[in-house]
Amino acid sequence: MEKQNIDWANLGFGYVKTNKRFVSYYKDGKWDEGALTEDDTITISECAGVLQYAQTCFEGLKAYTTEDGHIVCFRPDLNASRMKDSCERLAMPVIPEDKFVDAVVKTVAANADFVPPYGSGATLYVRPYMFGSNPVIGVKPADEYQFRIFTTPVGPYFKGGVKPLTLKVSDFDRAAPNGTGHIKAGLNYAMSLHAIVTAHEEGYDENMYLDPATRTKVEETGGANFIFVTKDGKVVTPKSSSILPSITRRSLMYVAKEYLGLETEEREVLFDEVKDFAECGLCGTAAVISPVGKIVRDGKAIEFPSGMSEMGPVTKKLYDTLTGIQMGRLEAPKGWIKVIE
């Protein structure tokens, strides 16, 4: 198979139209078989549930070319199960988990020429999503839905690749105490847009959100979880019922313990203790692990000892081990890698 003629090394995190996408329709209480299509447009009612009441959720995962030339995906079963949780919380029909994984495999295989080559620094981002499509004017769930998957080749989420980021502690909240912060609802991202635009205008790369009830505990950013490293080398990640359970974070905590022999802790992290950590990173499918150099709250900066020029040493080891597993350089735990072809 001939690869597309794309300047893989200079891709940013943007949308590039690929050849095929998957679509399955839900009507009269059931999902159809679903099929691949070349049509990248969608026609729906002006009164569709997604347009009026934001009834939509999504997922994000990546396809990689491994060192030995296979195309693989990383833990798609966990995206399927998280999408189930999102659907249930948004009163949407669940897409069966095996159907989700099967559709990911089909969509990636159909766009194999867009999967960036090994060593290019780019990957194929896979975006499954679902939305209510029939007219809804009283506030209630839609009766008809579309489940779709498109793919787009991407480079690093943050400009500058692995250069440490500067974060602002946001004055806005990302999630409510008993709200939707733990699922991947489109509405969580809509309400973060004003906050991220403001942070960018002020020269910050991202926002750190605090817990909405007390504003004393670290939650996450708009699109990634946090990991911290203590001065004695322990890996710590915030525990909260209003953050997205990141698949990257769950994998990193396993890697830290089982591959690197580090102590790990998932617990509440007070903002007041952030100044005492040695390293800080953002983790997620898009972010991979992006180092954080500085966090500013009300004009007062916390600067991590790892500095503003490179990743801290433990963060770097975690990064190398995780990407080593994803790219097939290191043996993966059983069930983590789904081979596409």
Residues involved in catalysis: 184
18 or 86: whose CB is closer to ligand PLP?
A: 86
Q: Does 252 bind ligand PLP (CB under 6 A)?
A: no
Contact flag: residue 207 with ligand PLP (CB under 6 A): no
Check binding of 318 to ligand PLP (CB under 6 A). Answer: no
Answer with the entry of ligand PLP, ligand COI, none that 306 interacts with (C-beta below 5 to 8 A by kind): none
Structural tokens at position 262: 């580090």
Q: Which pair of structure tokens corresponds to residue 205?
A: 């790369």
Please pick, from the candidates 24, 237, 285, 321, the single residue that binds ligand PLP as defined by CB under 6 A.
285
Binding of ligand PLP at residue 123 (CB under 6 A)?
no
Q: Do 294 and 284 meet the contact criterion of CB atoms below 8 Å apart?
A: no
Number of shown-chain residues binding ligand PLP (CB under 6 A): 12
Q: Using alpha carbons only, what angle is made at residue 252 by residues 157 and 282, rounded to the nearest 5 degrees?
A: 35
Q: Is residue 225 involved in binding ligand PLP (CB under 6 A)?
A: yes
By CB under 6 A, residue 60 contacts ligand COI: yes
Applying CB under 6 A, does 284 fall inside the site for ligand COI?
yes
First and final C-alpha spacing in the chain:
11
Which of these ranges, 138-146, 150-158, 218-226, 254-262, lies near ligand PLP under the rule CB under 6 A? Answer: 218-226
**β pairing state of 165-169 and 145-154:** unpaired
Stretch that binds ligand PLP, among 43-51, 163-171, 219-227, 230-238 (CB under 6 A): 219-227
Q: What are phi and psi of 213, to 5 degrees?
A: -75, -45
- Residue 252 corresponds to which tokens in the numbers above? 């990193």
Instruction: Fill in the DSSP letter of residue 271.
Output: G
Size of the chain in residues: 341
Is 188 one of the binding residues for ligand COI (CB under 6 A)? no
Report, in Å, the least distance between residue 234 CB and ligand COI: 25
Q: Does 244 bind ligand PLP (CB under 6 A)?
A: yes
Rounded Cα gap, residues 282 and 62, in angstroms:
17
Contact between 223 and ligand COI by CB under 6 A: the answer reads yes
C-alpha angle with apex 183: 182 to 187, nearest 5 degrees? 110
Output b/e per residue, 182-205; b: 16+ Cβ within 10 A. bbbbbbbeebbeebbeebeeeebb
- What are the residues binding ligand COI (CB under 6 A)? 60, 223, 284-286
- What are the residues binding ligand PLP (CB under 6 A)? 60, 220, 223-225, 244, 246-249, 284-285
